[in-house]
């Protein structure tokens, strides 16, 4: 009885593992297609899209993609990284003091203020971009990196502020009160005592904001303009690929250059990315 029970348990585990393996392979097939076809000429891609003949494999098309004037790879990465860092600095920098004040001032006014900020989480960024363009125009920030950073940061503030407020509320009040009695100013208490304790939630906000900044296409495309000298990875890929979607000698190498670094970062940081996401959702 117990033996047959363990046997069914074992065969059930086998079925489960096979199912997991099959599904994992299925998820990876598109990525595999990009990788192998990035090294093949058009004719070979069309004839055998899944194979890779090492005899005829070439890095020629990757080199062409690397030097494609539509998608300046190095500067595209530089601009995108700059956006990730700058937007996070702005969004986190302004959210920390605001969240601190809201969390530590239990009055109706500040509760309403929190709701006012949180309402922004229900506004899709690419939808509000159309009217935001007119604000940026009025501020003479249209077509500039500062304008882009400000807009992207503004869309990150609601969520960042929300999870920060929830986190600070759970920190013991006695901490900052003791420091305040010792004569430390409010700013000092915030940045020297509270902020260091916020490390895990700041990391969560940073990762989620970084993902959305890294992958944003609409904001840089519309705010910088398609003719801008600044290209991000996404606007560069669009410029390089959108008119040539059946020229696979361009499509696959360009996509490979665009996805490899972010996938490497993901592989190295996957535990943080995935736990950050669930932490953010639980707090949200």
Partner 1 sequence: MARARAARVLVRRGALGRGLMTVPAALIYIGLMVVPVGYAVYYSFTSYNGIPSQTPEWVGLENYTRIFADPTGDMHSSLAVTGLIAVVGAFAVNVIALGLALLLRRTTPFTAFARAVMFYPHVLSALIVGFLWQAVLGPQGAVNNLLEGSGRSTLPFLSDPDWALATMIAVIVWAQLGVQLVLYLAGLQAVPADLQEAATLDGAGRVKVFQHVTWPALAPTVTVTIVTSVLSLLKVYEVVLGLTNGGPGDATQTWAYEILAVSFANNKVGLACAQAVLLIVVAGVLSFTIIALRRRAEEGAEALS
Q: At what angle do helices 108-118 and 145-170 cross, to 10 degrees?
A: 130
Q: Which residue reads 């899944």 in tokens?
A: 50
Q: Return the residue of 68, 70, 88, 155 that touches partner 1, per CB under 8 A.
A: 155
CB of 217 to partner 1, least distance (A): 5
Three-state secondary structure call for residue 58: coil
180: buried, middle or exposed (CB in 10 Å: 19+, 13-18, 0-12)?
Answer: middle
Stretch in the footprint of partner 1 (CB under 8 A) among 60-68, 71-79, 152-160, 192-200: 152-160
Q: Please give the residues from 45 up to 104 whose contact with partner 1 meets the rule CB under 8 A.
A: 45-50, 90, 93-95, 97-98, 100-102, 104
Q: Return the residue of 131, 172, 183, 227 that touches partner 1, per CB under 8 A.
A: 131
| Residues ≥6 apart with Cβ < 8 Å to 49 | 33, 37
173 binds partner 1 (CB under 8 A): no
Q: Return the residue of 37, 68, 88, 165 that touches partner 1, per CB under 8 A.
A: 37
CA 88 to chain centre: 11
Residue placing its CB nearer to partner 1 in the complex, 127 or 175 = 127
Q: Please give the residues from 185 up to 244 whose contact with partner 1 meets the rule CB under 8 A.
A: 186, 190, 211, 214-218, 222, 233-234, 237-238, 241-242
76's tokens: 């595209």
CB of 120 to partner 1, least distance (A): 5
CB of 270 to partner 1, least distance (A): 5
Q: Return the residue of 9, 18, 23, 78 that touches partner 1, per CB under 8 A.
A: 23
27's tokens: 């998820």
Q: Where are the alpha helices (DSSP H) in the chain?
A: 2-37, 42-47, 60-66, 73-104, 108-118, 125-138, 145-170, 173-181, 186-188, 195-197, 199-215, 218-224, 233-241, 248-283
Give the span between the Cα atoms of 50 and 54, in whole angstroms: 13
Give the span between the Cα atoms of 185 and 41, in whole angstroms: 66
Residue placing its CB nearer to partner 1 in the complex, 104 or 231 = 104
What does the H/E/C string look like for 68-118? CCCCCHHHHHHHHHHHHHHHHHHHHHHHHHHHHHHHHCCCHHHHHHHHHHH
Stretch in the footprint of partner 1 (CB under 8 A) among 54-62, 136-144, 165-173, 195-203: 136-144
Residue placing its CB nearer to partner 1 in the complex, 75 or 186 = 186
Stretch in the footprint of partner 1 (CB under 8 A) among 14-22, 66-74, 166-174, 197-205: 14-22
41 binds partner 1 (CB under 8 A): no
Give the chain's length. Answer: 284
CB of 3 to partner 1, least distance (A): 19
Query: How many other CB atoms are there within 10 angstroms of residue 190's CB atom?
Result: 21
Q: Return the residue of 113, 184, 197, 203 that touches partner 1, per CB under 8 A.
A: 113
161 binds partner 1 (CB under 8 A): yes
Stretch in the footprint of partner 1 (CB under 8 A) among 70-78, 153-161, 169-177, 193-201: 153-161
18 binds partner 1 (CB under 8 A): no
Contact 156, 206 (CB under 8 A): no
């Amino acid at each position: 009885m117990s033996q047959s029970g363990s046997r069914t348990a074992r065969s059930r585990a086998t079925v489960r593992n096979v199912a997991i393996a099959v599904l994992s392979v299925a998820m990876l097939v598109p990525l595999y297609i990009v990788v192998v076809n990035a090294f093949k000429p058009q004719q070979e891609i069309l004839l055998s899209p899944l194979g890779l003949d090492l005899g005829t494999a070439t890095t020629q098309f990757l080199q062409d993609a690397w030097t494609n004037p539509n998608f300046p790879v190095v500067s595209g990465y530089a601009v995108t990284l700059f956006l990730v860092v700058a937007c996070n600095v702005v969004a986190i920098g302004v959210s920390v003091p605001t969240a601190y004040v809201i969390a530590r001032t239990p009055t109706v006014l500040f509760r309403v203020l929190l709701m006012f900020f949180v309402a922004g989480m229900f506004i899709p960024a690419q939808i509000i971009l159309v009217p935001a363009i007119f604000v940026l125009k009025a501020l003479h920030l249209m077509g500039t990196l500062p304008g882009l950073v400000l807009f992207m940061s503004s869309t990150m503030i609601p969520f960042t502020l929300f999870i920060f407020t929830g986190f600070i509320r759970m920190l013991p009040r006695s901490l900052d009160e003791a420091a305040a009695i010792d004569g430390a100013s409010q700013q000092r208490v915030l940045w020297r005592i509270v902020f260091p304790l916020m490390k895990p939630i700041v990391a969560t906000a940073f990762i989620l904001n970084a993902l959305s900044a890294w992958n944003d296409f609409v904001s840089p495309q519309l705010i910088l303009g398609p003719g801008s000298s600044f290209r991000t990875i996404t606007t560069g890929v669009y410029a390089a690929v959108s008119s040539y979607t059946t020229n696979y000698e361009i499509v696959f190498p360009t996509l490979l250059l665009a996805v490899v670094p972010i996938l490497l970062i993901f592989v190295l940081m996957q535990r943080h990315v995935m736990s950050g996401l669930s932490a953010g959702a639980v707090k949200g």
